[in-house]
Amino acid sequence: MITYEFLQQYWWFIMSLLGGLLVFLLFVQGGQSMLHSLSRKEDEKRLLVNSLGRKWEYTFTTLVTFGGAFFASFPLFYSTSFGGAYWAWMILLFCFVLQAVSYEFQSKPGNIFGAATYRIFLFINGLLGTFLLGVVVATFFTGSEFTVGKGNIAGLGTAGPIISQWQNPLHGLELLGNLRNLTLGFAVLFLARTQASLFFVNRLNHEVLEKRSRKFVLYNGLPFVVFFLIFLIWTLISEGYAVDPITKDVYLEKMKYLNNFIEMPLVMVLFILGVVAVLYGITRTVFSADFKNGIWYSGAGTIVTVTMLLLIAGLNNTAYYPSSVDLQSSLTLQNSSSSEFTLSTMAVVSLLVPVVAAYIFYAWRALERKKLSLDDLNNDGHAY
Amino acid sequence: MDLLSASAVNWSRAQFALTASYHWLFVPLTIGLGLIMAIMESLYVKTGDEKWKNATKFWQKIFGINFAIGIATGIILEFQFGTNWSNYSWFVGDIFGAPLAIEGILAFFMEATFVSIMFFGWNRVSKKMHLASTWLVFVGASLSAFWILVANAWMQYPIGMEFNPESVRNEMVDFWAVAFSPVAYNKFLHTTFSCWAVGAAFVVAISGWYLLKKRHTDFAVKSMKIGSLVGLVAFVMLAVTGDGSAYHVAQKQPMKLAAMEGLYEGKEGAGLVAVGMLNPARKNYNDEVDPYIFKIELPKLLSLLGYRDINAFVPGIVDIVDGGYTLPDGTTSLSFQERKERGLKAIQALADYQVAKEEGRDADAANHEIILRENYAHFGYGYLETEEDMIPNIPLTFYSFHLMVMIGMYFILFFMVMLYFLYKKDMVSNRWLQYVALWSLPLAYLASQLGWVVAEVGRQPWTIQDILPVQAASSAISAQNVATTFILFAVLFTGLLIAEVTIMVKQIKKGPESEGLKA
């Protein structure tokens, strides 16, 4: 029976999955943040840029689709978060704007800003694109300072007609002052760098870079595990934002997110499997010099882990976008979603996603039959 | 009600206009050049002639440079409804969000995926698969245009939705009404052809430059032929679809039409202003000063084009503000004051409904809902203060519209002349026409931007026609914050534009000889 509630949960699942895919695809950003540290010579840099350059649009498009899909399925989140945490999102978007032109422009003749400028843009996008996204996603668990009054538009409330009102004048920059937010930010950054290293080990036909990348898996994998564990344990033992299914009141519940795992054992099991897969991909790559498929384990694991993490943020009567200043303003699947009509219309559209996935898979395979070497760059008609 | 400071709203408007205008510098070339390079590659696959392959690869290189900055300027738009227009995003997001999401899922992934095969797959996939990829890039870009234009069309002509007082927002009830609204498909066709027009003008201009430099003559002539054919079709269809669009504007946004024509005092059998100059001495909407310093009018044509009846009454700004004329559905139009009164009633009824619901007084709530629905058509007027608030910027709308049409007419003639010389006479020796081809390019870009000025300035103050004005649609963010992001985007996008142009000019100067074509 397809009820409104089912549709809301289905769309939260889709958003969680998109989130998981996005975090996996952030390996491109991770690689960009290592351009200067991983390479020593210019041709090594070129190889890194070009291997990432064949993938960057997937991450970018997933981010854009993530925004559009959030708008379509949970418009109150879109309006409250983007309109409120203005600076957090603007800086994030700004650095993606920088990325979008950088691959194409950096080595073109007539480039008046020079290749170095664009590579710095890529570096900035690599650093901030991952870190800030982690910080913002952390607020699904830590809360933000906003109020929502749907009646404001009709003159109810005291601060004008705007429904979503951010209460902190820093408009998103204050999120950086929350330690738990920062830990997830660093976790995402180091995960992206770890996955990029795994990607390079898998894709590059270049002995020196491959060896170096393998070391980078360790250098980045360790901090990733540390920050991730800190965030995870801290969140599981902290209070969480629960919703009373009858009264719809939001209240703080001890160890809410741990309870969510326990009450949704399938999600917990998949989460653990995802974590195991990520750790397996990392450890085997570090300890086994011939193992090059770490990215597939770690990638699949990342998608599953992040999806499950986001699921426990919103399912099981949890407020997925909590307000730390006014609990009852917190966003839940019920009070922030689109109408039943829109969610069902969009659900029909979502059936096309496997088609999209299929042609992406086809294209990926068609272009990546063999590893990328410097020879390929020099002989290809089109290289960055 | 205390609305957000006008300054904060205006900075948000300025920022959207800035970012959208920049994006619109690049998107038309993506779609127009996308079509032309797909046609050229089709000719290559059909004939096997390597010259067509080299021509295709050259234009694809140019395409790539432009495509990147199109993406860069586009991402902010996807999120800007949220960052700067949060009330709008909740109030109409149930309808507006869907086309944006569909655009991402269907169109953007298609573009992104197949563009990488187009660039990197020449030696990795079959000829046919590569050709399909090039066409799919064009299809993806066109699909993207379709969905965003469905969204914009809905702003101009909101349909297929019902207001829900409980959730305080408009909710979609008919997806097909939204997706295939006549405003939507007219707008889609008109905008698509405008993109073909820019692509054609671009190809013809660059080819003209090569002929002037006596380089790549064969390549230039081939490109010019395709460009001119696409161009003529595009500009003729622009006239046809432009008429269609204006017809719908007359029906659904009479104030916009009045602004486009500078029509203050409406009349039956109204003429179309072919050329005219507005009188700046007209300060107020109803001060009876002659609106024009001069005009050349084509009699009866505005009534004919707007209402398909040469004697139809076309309301002017004064009529729309003061009310009292007969609408196409037979009812009498309301004045601004009457609409504002009803709007305030609707807003108050909504507030009362909310309070009644909260206090459990369901019977009262039901009564308030009745009042709300009776007056909902004028909801947005409740946020306006004076008559002037419902009037868009007349000179900007008027001159943009007329200049755009003039440029359109010019290009129809231009492409006819081009085709004549390309097929019947000698283009290669006609240096004068090559100069004209080159210097016509900025006009195509100008007309392309002016169209959007008409569409978006002409709809002010409405973010959603009659339902939500800009004053009630924005985010709760101070003017300083928005001014800062405005400046950041202005600097960044201008810098990127300069970078793009210098790279493109360099690539053009290098020419297709880098692709193996001899001079």
Dump pLDDT digits (tens) for B319-348.
Answer: 999 999 999 889 999 999 999 999 999 999
Which sequence spans correspond to the domains of chain A?
4-379
Res B358: pLDDT: 92
Chain A: give the shortest CA distance to residue B178, in Å. Answer: 12
Residue-number span of the structural domain to which B439 is assigned: 6-253+394-457+459-515
Res B3: pLDDT: 55
Res B519: pLDDT: 40
Chain B: give the shortest CA distance to residue A225, in Å. Answer: 32
Q: B69, B77, B100: best mutation site toward chain A, by most A Cβ within 10 Å?
A: B100
Dump pLDDT digits (tens) for B355-380.
Answer: 999 999 999 999 999 999 999 999 99
Res A37: pLDDT: 95
> B517 falls in which pLDDT band (50, 70, 90)?
very low
Res B267: pLDDT: 92
Res A110: pLDDT: 87
Same domain, B133 and B11: yes
Structure tokens at A9: 């949960």
Indicate yes or no: CB of B503 within 8 angstroms of CB of A105.
yes
Same domain, B313 and B402: no
A61, A80, A162 member nearest B112 (Cβ): A61
Number of domains within chain B: 3
Q: B109, B358, B372: best mutation site toward chain A, by most A Cβ within 10 Å?
A: B109
Indicate yes or no: CB of B476 within 8 angstroms of CB of A84.
yes
* Closest alpha carbon within chain A to B105: A65
Is residue B1 a part of any domain in this protein? no
Dump pLDDT digits (tens) for B275-286.
Answer: 999 998 888 888
* A357 reaches B (C-beta below 8 A): no
Same domain, B245 and B263: no
Same domain, B280 and B405: no
Indicate yes or no: CB of B120 within 8 angstroms of CB of A382.
yes
Average pLDDT over residues B413-427: 95
- Per residue, what are the HEC states of chain A? CCCHHHHHHHHHHHHHHHHHHHHHHCHHHHHHHCHHHHCCCHHHHHHHHHHHHCCHHHHHHHHHHHHHHHHHHCHHHHHHHHHHCHHHHHHHHHHHHHHHHHHHHCCCCCCCCHHHHHHHHHHHHHHHHHHHHHHHHHHHHHCECEEECHHHHHCCCCCCCCCEEECCCCCCHHHHHCHHHHHHHHHHHHHHHHHHHHHHHHHECCHHHHHHHHHHHHHHHHHHHHHHHHHHHHHHHCEEEEECCCCCCEEEEECHHHHHHHHCHHHHHHHHHHHHHHHHHHHHHHHCCCCCCHHHHHHHHHHHHHHHHHHHHHCCCECCECECCCHHHCECHHHHCCCHHHHHHHHHHHCCHHHHHHHHHHHHHHHCCCCECHHHHHHCCCCC
The pairing of beta strand B169-172 with beta strand B267-268: unpaired
Indicate yes or no: CB of B78 within 8 angstroms of CB of A67.
yes
Dump pLDDT digits (tens) for B110-144.
Answer: 999 999 999 988 988 999 999 999 999 999 999 99
Indicate yes or no: CB of B507 within 8 angstroms of CB of A110.
yes
* Closest alpha carbon within chain A to B102: A349
Average pLDDT over residues B143-147: 96
Which residues in chain A have their CB less than 8 angstroms from residue B483's CB? none
Which residues in chain B have their CB less than 8 angstroms from residue A75's CB? 89-90, 93-94, 97, 169
Res A380: pLDDT: 62
Average pLDDT over residues B182-204: 97
* A104 reaches B (C-beta below 8 A): yes
* A378 reaches B (C-beta below 8 A): no
Indicate yes or no: CB of B496 within 8 angstroms of CB of A110.
no
Same domain, B292 and B364: no
Res A325: pLDDT: 96
Same domain, B213 and B309: no
ipTM of the complex: 0.93
> B1 falls in which pLDDT band (50, 70, 90)?
very low
Residue B145 has pLDDT above 70, yes or no: yes
Q: pTM for the full model?
A: 0.94
Same domain, B89 and B218: yes
Same domain, B351 and B494: no
Is residue B330 a part of any domain in this protein? no
Q: A108, A112, A353: best mutation site toward chain B, by most B Cβ within 10 Å?
A: A108
* A177 reaches B (C-beta below 8 A): no
* A233 reaches B (C-beta below 8 A): no
Block means of pLDDT (10 residues each) for chain A, length 384 residues? 93 96 97 95 93 92 93 97 96 96 90 92 96 97 96 88 95 97 98 97 94 96 98 97 95 97 97 98 95 96 98 97 97 97 95 91 82 76 71
Is residue B232 a part of any domain in this protein? yes
Q: A163, A360, A362, A384: best mutation site toward chain B, by most B Cβ within 10 Å?
A: A163
Chain A: give the shortest CA distance to residue B153, in Å. Answer: 17
Indicate yes or no: CB of A100 within 8 angstroms of CB of B72.
yes
Q: What percent of chain B has pLDDT over 70?
A: 98
Indicate yes or no: CB of B108 within 8 angstroms of CB of A80.
no
Res A381: pLDDT: 60
Is residue B221 a part of any domain in this protein? yes
Q: What is the mean pLDDT of chain A?
A: 94
* A153 reaches B (C-beta below 8 A): yes
* Closest alpha carbon within chain B to A147: B476
Is residue B238 a part of any domain in this protein? yes
